[in-house]
Structure 1
Amino acid sequence: MLGLPDDTRAVLFDLDGVLTSTAVLHREAWKKTFEDYLGEPFTEDDYLRYVDGRPRYEGVRTYLESRGLQPAEDTVRQVGDRKNALIDQIISERGVQPYPGSVAYVEAVEAAGLPIGVVTSSANATRVLEAAGLTRFVKAQIDGLVITRENLRGKPAPDSFLAGARALGVEPAHAAVFEDAIAGAQAGHAGGFGYVVGVDRGAGEKALSEAGANIVVKDLAELL
C-alpha cells in the first residue's frame, strides 16, 4: 500500500520540497541573498547543484567556492544569516503549505504503524512543521540545529539520516528515505538505507536516480 519494501520498519522524510512547498521559498531567499551579495544571476541550476539539501553555511561556502572565491568563515556566516532572516520574513508573510499528497501519505504511514522521522538541513523545521500541521506525526526530528549541535556532517554525507534512524531505533537497511534534493538522495544511498524515494520537484528523475534513488515520483500520493 505504501510502495515500500515489506521489511521497512520506519520512514525518514526530508521536509522542504517533500512534505511542504517551502523549498520554493528557500530558493527565492537564496536567489535574493546571493544576487544582492555578488551582483550576478543565481540560477535554478545553481540552487540544485550547490545549495539544495545542504546545511545553510555549507550551501553558502559551496556556492561561493563555485565562483572561484575562498570566503572567510565570518563571510559565510554573514551571508547565511542574511538568508535565514529573509526566509523567516517570507514564511511570516506567506505561511506554509503542505503538499496534499504528502499529507495523505504521512497519514497512511502512521496508520500502518511505521514511526516517522523528519531529517532536514533547515534550522526552521519546528516552525515549519507546526505551521503545516504536521508536528503530531513526527517521532524524531533531526534538523539544522541538531546537525550543528552534534557536529554532524550535512548532506550529501549520511550523518543526519543515520542519526534519524538511531532516534527511531531502526537499522538503516530497514528504513526508507524520502528526498527531493540530489544531495539528500546521495545521503540516503551513502547511508545504506533500504529504500530511497526521490521526489521530483525540479531536480529531475534522471539526476535523482543517478544520486541513488530507487524510485522517483512527482507526488507521494503516487505510492498509495
Structure 2
Amino acid sequence: MTGDALDLVIFDCDGVLVDSERICVEVDAMIMADLGVEFTEAEILELFVGSSAEVCTAVVEERLGRRLEQDWQRRYEHLYDAAFADRLTAVDGVTQVLAGLTAPFCVASDGDHDGIRRSLRITALSDHFEDRIFSAADVPRGKPAPDLFLHAARSMGADPVRCAVVEDSAYGIRAAHAAGMRAFGYCGGLTPAARLEGPGTVVFDDMRDLPRLLAARDHTGA
C-alpha cells in the first residue's frame, strides 16, 4: 500500500475512523430539545458535524437568544458515552487501510483526548495510533481554523505542504486548506459529497480507495 511519499496522513476521528455521525446527530437532537431549541437533522449535519465546541456553542446561543453556562456540554457527555458503548463501530474498510498504510499517520479531532481515546478503544483502533493523538484542546482554535492540523504536523516533524488530511466535514476541509495541506473528503457517511467538493479536494465514498488516491496525489505532486 502506498502513500509513503507523504510526510504525514492526518485522520479526523468522527465519521472518518469511527462511524459515529449518525449517533452524534441523534444525540445532538436530544440535547437541543432539552435546551429548548429546535434544529432539524439537516441543520445539525450542516452546522455541528465537524465543528469545534466554540462554533457549536455560538450557533446554539444564537438560536436560543441567550448565553449558555461554561462547559454546558459536559452535562450531556453521558448520552454520547452510552450510545457509543452500545453502537459505535469502525468505518468500513478503515482497519485494513491503517494496517497497510506505509506513510506516518495520526488522528487530529475537535473532540477532547478522553473522547477520542474512548472511540478508538471501543472500535479496536487504539493500537494503530498509540500516542499520535491530537485534540482541539491542544490549540487556541478548533476547526475550521488550521491550528490543530498545523500542531499535529509540527509535533510529528512533518512539512504541512507534504501532509494529507482525511476529513468528512466542510469545517475540516476548510481547516486543511487553511493549513496548506492536501484535502481528501470522505463522503461515505452522512455528509453529502457536494458539501466537501471544491478546488484542491479529492472526494471519495469508499475508505478502501484512500491508499490509491494518496498515491495518485503523491505521483502528480498536486
| TM over 0.5, shorter chain | yes
Which residue of 111, 117, 120 corresponds with 1:122? 111
Q: In structure 1, what is the Cα distance between the partners aligned to 2:185 and 2:55?
A: 22
User: 1:131 is matched by which residue type in structure 2?
Assistant: I
> How far did residue 25 of structure 1 move?
1.5
Q: In structure 2, what is the Cα distance between the partners aligned to 1:223 and 1:184?
A: 17
Which residue of 7, 14, 17 corresponds with 2:15? 17
Q: In structure 2, what is the Cα distance between the partners aligned to 1:58 and 1:39?
A: 16
Alignment check: 8 A CA contact 2:94 2:207 kept: yes
Q: In structure 2, what is the Cα distance between the partners aligned to 1:213 and 1:30?
A: 31
Q: In structure 2, what is the Cα distance between the partners aligned to 1:20 and 1:125?
A: 10
Q: CA RMSD in A?
A: 2.0
Question: After the TM superposition, which residues 44-83 of structure 1 pair with which residues of structure 2 at under 5 Å, given as runs?
Answer: 44-65=41-62, 67=63, 69-72=65-68, 74=69, 77-78=71-72, 80-83=73-76
Residue 59 of structure 2 corresponds to residue 30 of structure 1 = no
Residue 108 (structure 1) aligns with: 100
Residue 171 (structure 1) aligns with: 159
Q: In structure 1, what is the Cα distance between the partners aligned to 2:45 and 2:200?
A: 16
Which residue of 104, 117, 126 corresponds with 1:135? 126
> How far did residue 70 of structure 1 move?
4.0
Alignment check: 8 A CA contact 2:149 2:179 kept: yes
DSSP-derived class of the 1:215 partner:
strand
Q: In structure 2, what is the Cα distance between the partners aligned to 1:151 and 1:199?
A: 24
> How far did residue 151 of structure 1 move?
4.1
Question: After the TM superposition, which residues 183-194 of structure 1 pair with which residues of structure 2 at under 5 Å, given as runs?
Answer: 183-193=171-181
User: 1:11 is matched by which residue type in structure 2?
Assistant: V
Q: In structure 2, what is the Cα distance between the partners aligned to 1:128 and 1:171?
A: 28
Structure 2 residue runs without a partner (length 5+): 212-222
> How far did residue 98 of structure 1 move?
0.4
Residue 208 of structure 2 corresponds to residue 221 of structure 1 = yes
> How far did residue 213 of structure 1 move?
5.5
Residue 99 (structure 1) aligns with: 91
Cα 1:30–1:213 shift into 2, 3 Å: farther
> How far did residue 105 of structure 1 move?
1.3
Runs of 4+ residues over 3 Å off in structure 1: none
Cα deviation 1:91-124 (Å, max 9, x = unaligned)? 23x1431023111111121xx2x11110111120
User: 1:221 is matched by which residue type in structure 2?
Assistant: R
Structure 1 residue runs without a partner (length 5+): none
Q: In structure 2, what is the Cα distance between the partners aligned to 1:181 and 1:81?
A: 23
Q: In structure 1, what is the Cα distance between the partners aligned to 2:168 and 2:206?
A: 10
Cα 1:62–1:39 shift into 2, 3 Å: closer
Cα deviation 1:14-51 (Å, max 9, x = unaligned)? 011001111222111111000221253x2222123221
Q: TM-score, normalised by structure 1?
A: 0.84
DSSP-derived class of the 1:130 partner:
helix
Q: In structure 1, what is the Cα distance between the partners aligned to 2:208 and 2:174?
A: 23
Alignment check: 8 A CA contact 2:139 2:148 kept: no
User: 1:192 is matched by which residue type in structure 2?
Assistant: G
Q: TM-score, normalised by structure 2?
A: 0.84
Which residue of 199, 215, 223 corresponds with 2:186? 199
